[in-house]
Amino acid sequence: MGPFDFTNGPFTTEEVLRATAVAIARHACNGDDGRVLGDPVFEEVTEERNRWPKYSACGDLPQFVLMRLGLRDERIVNRNDDGGKLPWSIGQNLSKLVFRTGKAFVWSTVKKRPKPGDVLYVAMPEHVCVLESLDEAAGTIATFDYGLVDPKTGKPAGRRRVSRFRVQGKQLMVGNRVLRGWLDIARIPGLLAPS
């Protein structure tokens, strides 16, 4: 499989949709190795915006994954390279994912769990990432994240991360952040073929 030889939706099954979303995010992050500013894939994911002072690319990864899955709904997608009419707009990456996705966004409760490929919304500070896997028995959650800093180079980066997962009172915790909710990619209209 070449860098972006991924199939666009609609997908025949939820399993294929989720596996493809995880594969796109894994490639964008180069797994545990990560990608940094200057890497051609990092630059494609961030559309070269991560050179701006105080810019956080965390929302670029989920937006990139959704676009690569074939989503073109500009109420949700915030990119320049999505083939749409609206250009990327500052401050819209996270808000479009959380507040413009209707019933596809699931607010967190202690009884619900996200699935691989879903876009997690954690706070404080606010951050979004793509879920790879959740292992409650081990108390771990693996995500693909942008908006990080590479410890070796000090450059903006994206990579796979494993954090502690636990229930704390009435909240789900990802590391030290509260899992506020997630975008359930299987609920986004148009990504799954009608059955």
Q: Does the model's pTM come out above 0.85? A: yes
Please, are residues 191 and 137 in contact by the beta-carbon 8 Å criterion? no
Residue 101 belongs to what H/E stretch?
none
Query: CA separation (Å) from 193 to 16, 22, 35, 135, 170?
Result: 11, 19, 33, 29, 35
Note the pLDDT of residue 165. 98
Position 4 scores a pLDDT of: 47
Query: Other C-beta atoms within 10 Å of 164: how many?
Result: 12
Residue 56 DSSP label: -
Condensed to tens digits (0 to 9), the pLDDT of residues 82-132 reads 888 999 998 888 899 999 999 999 999 999 999 999 999 999 999 999 999
